[in-house]
A and B are shown apart, each in its own frame.
Chain A
């Protein structure tokens, strides 16, 4: 008898614009102690499935059209609210994606931790506090007793997630639902949290539903895997079956989209030696002012974001910048394009000293180096059509008459694989991937010699990600455009970068040809990064070879 049995679940959202079939006939079973992984991109319905089990969906727009979810004889989908409430946080617990917003900033974590204990287990305040301290210790929080009186903003992201896990497991639930718990965390922290979850699950014998868009992680942690697309399960099986012998075309597409393996070698480029120091950064220091803590401390404090980095980029090369949060990679990029000023050091591109330029000279030189950003929803002016946006960029390069302008615009559209009918549309009418294409076109319009891409695919679905990466590679080939590609995703870097530089806390830790870094990392931090990624997911030996 399985612990949880879901039959033909259908959840529809009744909105003003029509009915959205978020979950359209999903069935699965979960046994005691088993881990079920649900994989899907945005819109697949994976989270809605999980939330519907606990009645956490906003019921006016959402409706359970049909289905049953049997847990210990109770149909979760049709149980009264009072029953559900006794199960939530007690026998079925859930941890969410973003630890920053999932904890109440106005309550101490102690108060939040003891809540489920007092509600469901009737513990007295003292007993609940003791149990909570124990739980904190179990998830690896040091000085748990003192921490009980702290507020969420006093913790880092990883620690907050540990607190959420402690909160979920304190009542010894039968089932733990984990909704993308590590997506918002750095790679090394992610590995720790995954390890923690795995360990606790084993020691407490809890069944788990693990939801993620990352097939690699799911395959690493789950026994059985469900792949969802547009509200239906397109494939299910053991992790090895799904990962190594995918049946459904969508699963295959998912697996193929994960960048893996080395960057394909480009004989054309190797044949043509370019200047090796097309872009040169010498001992770059960038700091941010930090407000002083105390009223009486009148000195000016600074935080060193980039602490003496020296790098080189060859013409036509793609340099990958890897690092976790706080590594300074984004700050360095912004220093190159002069969104921030350097505290010390020099940046030179060909003959021009970028770091010394100012005023009109800087503005005149700006078209030479352009940037594309991470968030496709914020990188386009919502009030401009695609036509306006590209025209503005093109005009920057020089006066063009109407015919020339249109010709150039159409050429740009062709480069990024968009269609002329998109010209009169506004950003909010496009998907994330399309918006990135528009942003790339805008940058291209200026015919830059250097393109900096700051996590351009991190906010996109895996399948779309692959398309954009291909596009960037194509543009690099076609225009011999030198690129700096920033990412926290090692797989992406490995696929796209010729050389890779690893940053940690503002310092350059290691730099060299990509394959060399990945296969023979020398610095301990690089090794730690790589092993964290490998430990938490199934990476190699994938796909249809």
Chain B
């Protein structure tokens, strides 16, 4: 057999003029081409900024009421109108966004932490540990959590902290399952076996080799969990079981709006539109991330 010089040309495929790019940069490039996804990203960023700076930018004070004014349609003084107590709707929505977004992000953070750790350990260690951990998840999954949360809220009062934890407690299950699935798949890859054979300690393998490769999926599902959490919170608030006045949240505002929707439809429209817009953005962003990070899921 003849000995050939090593093939030092790069493989055919993506643009050879492009400089060496990590998978993250590659994903970002793909995301930036997705118009809906980028739109979602922008809208959410704007919302987050607005809600952070609400105390400084809200046109009226939080509790400013004007009973003489009553409910009025949108005008120059009140861009989105006022409610039956004369409170500025824009202000109410802004403050409501603080609550809803806070619940959304915080509860998701709780779910994320528990779910990722649970799923990674379960998937990586395997064996009996995996069986026990997953059996627990299965049992908890079968419980009708929405009903339990309602019970909790009714029985133990409307405690914000309890609300966060309860909602987070529902969502971590799905996250754990997804992470475990990913970890199982990665664990079987030869490059993990290679570092095991190298003799790297288990924790190092989990953090340096497994997690970075699961990170993509985690990001996607986190982005898609936040809207679910926001929905859940507003659902509870709508039923009167979540956030209580004087605090406001979108769900609460919507329930007021429903009560008076015939006479003052703007009280329903604007909070509903804000909620939906937020959910849209998050979902489009999540979809865009999914396409960017996992090209096999795309259709072309």
Interface residues of A (CB under 8 A from B): 17, 43, 253, 256-257, 259, 337, 339, 362-367, 369-371, 373-375, 378-383, 385, 392-393, 396, 416-419, 422, 424-426, 428-431, 433-434, 437, 439, 442-443, 446, 463-464, 466-467, 469-470, 495
> Is A366's CB under 8 angstroms from B197's CB?
yes
Known: A257-B1, A337-B197, A383-B22. A418 touches B8 (CB 8 A): yes
* Contact status A466-B23, CB under 8 Å: no
A382 near B23: Cβ-Cβ < 8 Å: yes
* CA A424 to CA B199, docked complex, whole Å: 24
Question: Closest CB-CB distance, A40 to chain B, in whole Å?
Answer: 15
Contact of B85 with A by CB under 8 A:
no
A-B contact pairs, 18 of them (CB 8 A): A339-B193, A369-B197, A371-B194, A373-B190, A373-B194, A381-B213, A382-B23, A396-B200, A419-B8, A426-B22, A429-B20, A430-B10, A437-B6, A439-B194, A442-B194, A466-B4, A470-B1, A495-B1
The reply to whether B191 and A379 form a contact with Cβ atoms under 8 Å apart is yes
Known contacts A363-B201, A371-B194, A392-B195, then 14 further A-B pairs from the complex at CB < 8 Å, ordered by chain A residue: A364-B199, A365-B199, A366-B197, A366-B198, A374-B190, A378-B189, A381-B195, A383-B213, A392-B200, A396-B198, A425-B20, A429-B20, A437-B6, A446-B198
A390 to B140 CA separation, bound complex (whole angstroms): 44
A383 near B194 with CB under 8 A, answer no
Indicate if B12 sits at the interface (CB-CB under 8 A).
Answer: yes
Chain B 222-265, CB-CB to A under 8 Å as 1, else 0, gives 00000000000000000000000000000000000000000000
Specify the chain A residue showing the minimal Cβ separation from B11: A431
Give the CA-CA distance A392 to B5 in the complex, in Å. Answer: 28
Report whether over half of chain B's contact residues are helix, strand or loop; otherwise say mixed. loop
B125 to chain A, nearest CB (A): 15
Q: Is the CB of B197 within 8 A of A339?
A: yes
For the complex, give the distance between the alpha carbons of A253 and B4 in Å: 10
Instruction: Check A17 against B199 for contact (C-beta < 8 Å).
Output: no
Given A256-B2, A257-B1, A424-B20, are A429 and B10 also a contact pair (CB < 8 Å)? yes
> Within the complex, what minimum Cβ distance (angstroms) separates B51 from chain A?
34
In the bound complex, how far is the Cα of B193 from the Cα of A337, in angstroms?
10
Instruction: Provide the residues of chain A in CB contact with B144, threshold 8 Å.
Output: none
Chain A residues with Cβ below 8 Å from B3 are 467, 470
Contact check: which of B2, B7, B23, B209 meets A434 at CB < 8 Å? B7
Question: Given the interface contacts A429-B20, A470-B1, does A417 sit within 8 Å of B6 by beta carbon?
Answer: yes
Nearest A residue to B209 by beta-carbon distance? Answer: A381
Nearest first, the 5 closest Cβ-Cβ pairs linking A and B are A366-B199, A417-B6, A379-B190, A373-B190, A431-B11
Measured CB to CB, the nearest residue on chain B to A252 is: B2
Docked complex Cα distance between A429 and B191 (Å) = 17
Nearest B residue to A474 via CB reads B3
Across-interface contacts of A370 in B (CB, < 8 A): 197-198
Q: How far is the CB of B135 from chain A (nearest CB, A)?
A: 15
Known contacts A256-B1, A259-B1, A430-B11; is-contact A383 B23 (Cβ 8 Å): yes
Q: B196 near A: Cβ within 8 Å?
A: yes
User: In the complex, what's the smallest C-beta–C-beta distance from A249 to chain B, in angstroms?
Assistant: 11
Is B212 part of the contact surface with A, judged by Cβ < 8 Å?
yes
Most B Cβ at <10 Å: residue of A17, A383, A466: A383
Chain A CB within 8 A of B15 CB: yes
- B7, A339: Cβ atoms closer than 8 Å: no
Q: List chain B residues, Cβ under 8 A from A43.
A: 12
Specify which chain B residues have a CB less than 8 angstroms from the CB of A417 in the assembled complex: 5-6
- Cβ of A429: which chain B residues have Cβ within 8 Å of it? 10-11, 20
Interface size on B, residues (CB 8 A): 34
Q: Judging by beta carbons under 8 Å apart, are B190 and A467 in contact? A: no
Question: Are the CB atoms of B189 and A393 closer together than 8 Å?
Answer: no
User: Which A residues lie within 8 Å of B208 (CB)?
Assistant: 392
CA distance A259 to B3 in the complex (A): 12
- A-side contacts of B5, CB under 8 Å: 417
A426 touches which of B15, B23, B196, B209 (Cβ 8 Å): B23
Chain B residues with Cβ below 8 Å from A392 are 195, 198, 200, 208
B10: which A residues are within 8 A, CB to CB?
Answer: 429-431
Known contacts A17-B13, A363-B199, A396-B199, A467 near B4 by CB under 8 Å: yes
Q: Mark B173-196, 1 if CB is under 8 A from A, else 0.
A: 000000000000000011101111
- Cα-based distance from A473 to B148 in the complex (angstroms): 67
Contacts of B2 in A (CB 8 A): 253, 256
Provide the bound-state CA to CA distance between A381 and B8, in Å.
21
How far is B208's CA from A337's CA once the two chains are assembled, in angstroms? 22
State how many angstroms separate the Cβ of A400 from the closest Cβ of chain B: 15
Assess whether B139 is interfacial by the CB under 8 Å rule. no
> Which residue on chain B has the smallest CB distance to residue A471?
B6
Interface mask (B13-34 → A, CB under 8 Å = 1, otherwise 0): 1110000111100000000000
Complex Cα distance A339/B3, Å? Answer: 34
A254 to B232, CA, bound (A): 64
Q: Which residues of B contact A443 (CB under 8 A)?
A: 194
**Residue of B3, B23, B198 most packed against chain A (CB within 10 A):** B198
In the assembled complex, the Cα of A378 lies from the Cα of B10 at a distance in Å of 18
Q: How far is the CB of B182 from chain A (nearest CB, A)?
A: 14
**B198–A393 contact, CB under 8 A?**
yes
Contact of B7 among A362, A379, A464 (CB under 8 A): A464
CA distance A416 to B209 in the complex (A): 24
**Bound form: Cα–Cα A392–B195 in Å:** 9
Taking CB atoms, residues of chain A closer than 8 Å to B212 are 383
The 8 Å CB contact of A433, one of B1, B7, B189, is: B7
Q: Name the residue in B7, B10, B190, B197 with the highest tally of chain A Cβ atoms < 10 Å from its Cβ.
A: B197
**Are A426 and B194 in touch, CB under 8 angstroms?**
no
In the complex the two chains form, what is the Cα distance from A322 to B105 in whole Å?
Answer: 56
Q: Are B193 and A367 in contact (CB under 8 A)?
A: no
- Knowing A393-B198, A467-B4 are in contact, say whether A428-B23 is a contact too (CB < 8 A): yes
Q: Is the CB of B191 within 8 A of A381?
A: yes
Residues of chain A within 8 A (CB-CB) of B6 are 416-418, 437, 467
Collect the chain A residues with CB atoms within 8 Å of residue B195's CB.
381, 392
**Which of A382, A424, A439, A464 gathers most chain B CB within 10 Å?**
A382
Q: Are A17 and B14 in contact (CB under 8 A)?
A: yes
Q: Looking across the interface, which residue of chain B has its beta carbon closest to that of A431? A: B11
* A364, A392, A416, A419 — most chain B CB neighbours (10 Å): A392
B197: chain A residues at CB < 8 Å are 337, 339, 366, 369-371
Q: Which residue of A lies closest to B201 (CB)?
A: A363
Residues of the B chain whose Cβ atoms lie less than 8 Å from the Cβ of A367: 198-199
Q: For the complex, give the distance between the alpha carbons of A417 and B3 in Å.
A: 12
- Give Cα A466 to B7, complex, Å: 12
With both chains docked as a complex, state the minimum distance between the C-beta of A378 and any C-beta of chain B, in angstroms: 5
| Distance A393 CA – B191 CA, assembled complex (angstroms) | 12
Distance in angstroms between the alpha carbons of A424 and B191 in the assembled complex: 18
Chain A residues whose CB sits within 8 angstroms of the CB of B20 once the complex forms:
385, 424-426, 429
B11 with A382: CB separation less than 8 A: no
Cα distance, A439 to B195, chains bound together (Å) = 11
For residue B198, which residue of chain A has the nearest CB? A396
Distance A325 CA – B217 CA, assembled complex (angstroms): 34
Q: Which residues of B contact A378 (CB under 8 A)?
A: 189-191
